[in-house]
Chains A and B, each alone.
Chain A
């Protein structure tokens, strides 16, 4: 009876090929399309949120950086600071000429605060200034700020001597002035608007100003001729060097009373600040993703319960526990990858749509896509692990006997 000689056969199960793993994983999904759609949707929403948030903030930053490129970072402003004891100071009247004499400086201009308000008529209360400052402006200001006229002309040697005014873009809007020829009430007399300025992202204070010539300011409004702010541009490579010598040049007696700043710093800071908001939104996306993962786990647990017979059949066909586990893990991974891919596409579309509406360049960094793939792989594995182990542990007889 003993056929010991027969029992030399090695019993080792054959490996399931990669393609077959995909096939059995996908077969489980194909059988229940509605459920697959809904649980993949959870993952898709999470991934779309994260990709969209990263994409939109990257696009916004890209826009700021391009703006910075366009505006240049070589503009410095010099302002009168405070004395050691907190008193107001003024820049010397000759300071603008001194700045112009610094070798790398290509262009410089000054504005001076004038103690007056601008209104549409004298009938409006003096307290209603609309936040508009009146400044005396140097003829070179437009060149130095690289600004453009929205309408009319800039102050010239002639108009700078007479009651003529150029309005910044915001000031014009607040006064309801659309073009030259209108008269406005400044410091007790009529001034004629000769032009309005376009946007000046590096000098928002000029956007909120009514600008008149130095001579006119002195003649009609009692301006003392001391500049309050000096704008200068120099060669890009010399910005730091110029920055160092500016205080001593402008006010040799009290260099510490002079503030020098770089307006482009504000844009750089803005670009950096885009990240703070992003982190919060990314957190929200991560929560959505987590909920999506729970949905996938839930779907997989139910799937295992429903498919006990299939599991029993596969065991009877010779599937090992490991192969059953692999099948359900593959199914869970496919499910979450499906959601992840859909989410990445949705997120990219959202970025594109939002960026287009804002006139930004649409940018989704490739690491965002990489991260999305990684996140879905992790979620698919974690969500599928427990159901897959349950499926593998199911005794074949129990699986087959449930009717």
Chain B
């Protein structure tokens, strides 16, 4: 089953060239995918499309089966609260609030009461290896720890799809590796993850890579067929995408 389906998605910002020029993309449940491209390639716009934070100029987007174009703003909010988790390059943690309450806020718009939110937040922090840091404020955590708190906030509601926008962009190599480890663990337990990055090293860590350039997907594939943890079929993973594979050499190695 596809968590994300994009068909002919185009996005034109007012007075600018098209940021996306007809993108087709499918992400299956349980996949770990890296969307790679230089700055200005349209990968951030692509993330906004998948994350339902913005609407396409043309084309259709389906998230968890819902046609985004047909949903009202309220319904999109509900969709985000149930199906999507976001991790941003700049963590976006509230400064004066403990790690526990930062994570608990991830459930604020999903319905549970404060006590349940905190219990689940503690469990989520445990999952990202920060069970001993519940009461710490963001200022007293390292960069890697802060990003792990942000990951915990994104997954505390157990969304089927986790979107990470340059999750290691503000971190040194060691801290970045920590965060990627956490994401690998979540992927192993069944979460579908899409990571946006310009970093080839990060891209190399993901089993499937989608290369974006000038608003188009120029390559989509895995270096080698491999069984995804969710048990998707062997053949399914290997899709070296269509005609414009200029960068394919770089990707498939």
**Chain A interfacial positions (CB closer than 8 Å to B):** 1, 3-4, 6-7, 9, 11-17, 19-20, 23-24, 27, 30-31, 309-310, 312-323, 395-397, 400-401, 403
Contact = CB atoms under 8 A, between A and B. Distances in A.
Interface range on chain B: under 10, 10 to 19, 20 to 34, or 35 or more? 35 or more
A14 B53 contact: no
Contact of A6 (B44, B65, B82): B65
A319 B109 CA distance: 6
B88 A6 contact: no
Contact of B73 (A3, A310, A320): A320
Interface string B169-208: 0000000000000000000000000000000000000000
29 contacts: A1-B2, A1-B5, A7-B66, A9-B64, A11-B82, A13-B74, A15-B111, A20-B114, A27-B96, A30-B96, A31-B95, A31-B96, A309-B92, A310-B94, A312-B92, A313-B88, A313-B92, A316-B51, A317-B80, A317-B81, A317-B153, A319-B77, A319-B108, A319-B109, A320-B109, A321-B73, A323-B109, A397-B54, A400-B53
Nearest to B150: A313
B78 A11 contact: yes
B75 A12 contact: yes
Given A11-B78, A31-B95, A320-B74, A314 B65 contact: no
Given A23-B114, A318-B81, 5 more contacts: A6-B65, A11-B75, A14-B109, A20-B108, A31-B94
Contact of B108 (A16, A30, A400): A16
B90 interface: yes
Contact of B53 (A23, A321, A397): A397
A315 B82 CA distance: 13
Given A315-B77, A317-B80, A403-B90, A13 B109 contact: yes
A317 B80 CA distance: 6
Contacts of A4: 65
A312 B51 CA distance: 12
Interface in B20-71: 44, 48, 51, 53-54, 64-67, 71
Contacts of A23: 114
B65 A7 contact: yes
A13 B108 contact: no
B114 A19 contact: yes
A330 B185 CA distance: 39
B66 A397 contact: no
B166 to A, nearest CB: 12
B86 A17 contact: no
B142 interface: no
B82 A318 contact: yes
A24 B117 CA distance: 14
A397 B114 contact: no
B65 A3 contact: yes
A14 B110 contact: yes
A397 B66 CA distance: 20
A332 B65 CA distance: 39
Nearest to B89: A403
B235 interface: no
Contacts of A317: 80-81, 86, 105-106, 108-109, 153
B1 interface: yes
B113 interface: yes
Interface string B1-12: 110010000000
B97 interface: yes
A397 B1 CA distance: 28
A6 B66 CA distance: 9
B46 to A, nearest CB: 12
A31 B54 CA distance: 29
Interface in B90-136: 90, 92, 94-97, 105-106, 108-111, 113-114
B79 interface: yes
Given A318-B82, A400-B53, A14 B111 contact: yes
Contacts of B53: 315-316, 395-397, 400
Nearest to B77: A320
Given A24-B108, A395-B54, A17 B113 contact: yes
A301 to B, nearest CB: 21
B71 A11 contact: yes
A314 B66 CA distance: 21
Contacts of B1: 3, 6
Contacts of A315: 53, 77, 80
Contact of B80 (A3, A12, A316): A316
Nearest to B79: A11
Given A315-B53, A318-B81, A319-B77, A16 B109 contact: yes
